[in-house]
Amino acid sequence: MKTFLNIFLRFYQLVTLQNKKKRQNLKMSARKKTWVRCAFSEMNISTTPVTPEATPAKRTRSSRNVSTRTSRSQSGNSTPKQVLPIESVDLTAVDDENDAESTGPTPEVKANWMESFAPAASEDLAVHPKKIGELRDWLRHCEAMRKKFPAQMCLLTGPTGAGKTATLRVLANEFGFQVQEWINPVDCEVVNALGDQSSGSSYVGSHLEAFKSFLLRASRYKSLLDSHSKRLLLVEDFPNVLLSDKEANFEEILDEYSTYGKSPLVFIVADAKSRGLNISYRLFTDQLKAKHRIEHISFNSIASTIMQKSIKVFCSVMQQPQNKATYTLPSSTVVDSIVVGAQGDIRNALINLHLSSLKGVPSMPTKQLNVSVATKGRKKKMQSTLKSIGRDESITLMHALGRVLNPKFNEEKHMLHSPEEITEAFSTEPRNFVNFVHANYLPHFKDIEDVVAAINDLGLSDVMLDEYRDSSLSTMGLNIAIRGAMLANSSPVSGWMPVRGPKRINIHSQATLAEQRLLGVGYSGISKSLYATEYSSFVKCIAGKLSESQSSQSTDSI
């Protein structure tokens, strides 16, 4: 009997599956989205009203809740049941409800806890007011040009967690724009006439086509469910085709958009360390920016003082009645360490704060950094960072170079930044770093004896870096070079010294045409180095004399 019941249940499930395939798809996407949102989304992305009109490619993640969710308390109260009436099917939300029922007394977990911390007005943003002003100016400009040139473009760059998206959303809300974001479709398949799944190139094409049609349609036609009249397109998630394929011409798309588009278009690109990964560098060439008058606003990572302020705001949010059940206030050392550990990434700071202030979590262990910072009261305050969480300190090449060339020592003659630390923080391309050290170390030295010690170590590291059979040697080589440059300098020279890049040696064939003619066909058989050492100086003077005599002969004949 029981088995029969099971079978029946299973059958019923299958039937419903078949019947509501479309709906199921929507469910799937909703499930995906909530997952994605937890991991990647910005602070105030709301649940998606997946409209049946939307094609799978053009899935607008509209931020309509940005407008509705003006008061925090409302969003704080937004239990899953309140989310449901908005046409969207949020499976995770239902799951949460079940969890809450089954576990009973534990505080409820909201679908997106980050939302309750999202800034609502531009005053709450942790971004520097000047940058906010720049973006506001651009939006004002868009307003002004709405009739004549609606397709304005803007590029926001900056390190991760600098508040690029948050700023845009807040300001768009302020100006009454509806933000429509492009999201790379995961299930974009082209089915051709025979019903076969397409392969290779056409798939790529369709991806691009979907992007194009998003740009053109989303800027023209407003969503049926929306009351906003103005739209603003946001591309944060670049179609992979554009990045991998040079033929898929980004420029063409922009050309098209600038003539047909009807709404302002914003690109948001996070900075990447290497040039190859840097989208803003690869896609947005200076030429392109000039052509379409793309406004480039680059955000800086958030300063620690502002970060501290906004963490205070977060803390006050935590103390609001609806959150009290979830959070306890962390101690001030923990808060300070979060600020240090985040290194200007406010999203990261918020995540750490969330983790360290959840109820029932033992207080986070902190690690003392050996960096002391002089505060206003002339007291030396030790900085500390969270032991288990927080980002690894990663430093840029120039920063590391400064630490190596101007080593700092504390009272006990110990180095503030040990060579190991620098090596570990910067181990991507040892060879490159050693070249930079070599190009710049000399002006910092006063005594030739110290130079000998330093260059000796640099030479040794060069030999070690060239040994490819053991990968650990490269790290060791880098360490030796860094140590050499840091320790050898007994009496460093201080002053402003511009950093120079390492020289590249490009041997170019320096034979002129006359010289080549002199050598005849045999010239191609002479290697560059042989030519430079044996031929060039003599051939130069012979050829010079020849041309002289030829010109004098020609004048004689006249």
Partner 1 sequence: MALWVDKYRPRELSKLDFHKEQAENLRNLCKQSDFPHLMFYGPSGAGKKTRIMCLLREMYGAGVERLRSETMTFTTPSNRKIEVMTVSSNYHLEVNPSDAGMYDRTVVIDLIKQVAQTHQIEISGQREFKVIVISEGDELTKDAQHALRRTMEKYVATCRIIISVNSTSRIIPAIRSRCLGIRVAAPNETEIVSILQSTCKREGLALPVELAKRVVDKSERNLRRALLMLEAAKVAKAPFTANQEIPDLDWQVFLRETASQIISEQTPGKLEKIRERLYELLTQGVPPNLIFRGLVEQLVNNCDMSIKAKTLEFATEYEHRMQTGAKHIFHLEAFVAQFMNIYKKFLSELVMTDDF
Binding residues (CB under 8 A) for partner 1: these are 431, 435, 438, 442-443, 445-449, 451-452, 455-456, 458-460, 462-463, 465-466, 503, 505-508, 510, 517-539, 541-542, 545-546
Report the 10 Å Cβ neighbour count for 127.
24
Local structure of residue 415 (DSSP, 8 states): B
**Residue of 63, 254, 281 whose CA lies nearest to 171:** 63
Cβ distance to partner 1 smaller for residue 4 or 538: 538
Are 286 and 279 a contacting pair, CB within 8 Å? no
Q: How far is the CB of 203 from partner 1 (least distance, A)?
A: 24
- Residue 456's DSSP bridge partners are none
Q: How far is the CB of 464 from partner 1 (least distance, A)?
A: 9
**Cα–Cα separations (whole angstroms), residue 264 to 140, 210, 214, 286, 477:** 11, 19, 13, 20, 51
Show the tokens assigned to 236: 């944060």
Q: How far is the CB of 194 from partner 1 (least distance, A)?
A: 36
Residue 500: Cβ-neighbour burial (10 angstroms; 0-12, 13-18, 19+): exposed
Cβ distance to partner 1 smaller for residue 396 or 550: 550
The values of phi and psi at residue 396, to 5°, are: -80, 170
Cβ distance to partner 1 smaller for residue 266 or 511: 511
Cβ distance to partner 1 smaller for residue 6 or 549: 549
**Residue of 265, 193, 201 whose CA lies nearest to 232:** 265
Q: How far is the CB of 542 from partner 1 (least distance, A)?
A: 5
Q: How far is the CB of 428 from partner 1 (least distance, A)?
A: 18
Cβ distance to partner 1 smaller for residue 391 or 431: 431
Q: How far is the CB of 463 from partner 1 (least distance, A)?
A: 4
Residue 221 three-state SS: coil
Cβ distance to partner 1 smaller for residue 427 or 537: 537
Are 484 and 454 a contacting pair, CB within 8 Å? yes
Cβ distance to partner 1 smaller for residue 238 or 535: 535
Cβ distance to partner 1 smaller for residue 147 or 275: 275
Cβ distance to partner 1 smaller for residue 255 or 462: 462
Residue 203 three-state SS: helix
Q: How far is the CB of 529 from partner 1 (least distance, A)?
A: 5
Sign of CA dihedral 397, 402, 404, 408: negative
| CA–CA gap between residue 466 and residue 481 (Å, rounded) | 13
Q: How far is the CB of 400 from partner 1 (least distance, A)?
A: 19
Cβ distance to partner 1 smaller for residue 192 or 533: 533
Show the tokens assigned to 389: 């969480």
**Cα–Cα separations (whole angstroms), residue 305 to 165, 285, 330, 346, 508:** 21, 34, 18, 12, 53
User: Which distant-in-sequence residues (6+ apart) come within 8 Å of 258 by Cβ?
Assistant: 151, 153, 292
Q: How far is the CB of 449 from partner 1 (least distance, A)?
A: 5
Show the tokens assigned to 126: 């942790």
Q: How far is the CB of 518 from partner 1 (least distance, A)?
A: 6
Residue 231: Cβ-neighbour burial (10 angstroms; 0-12, 13-18, 19+): buried
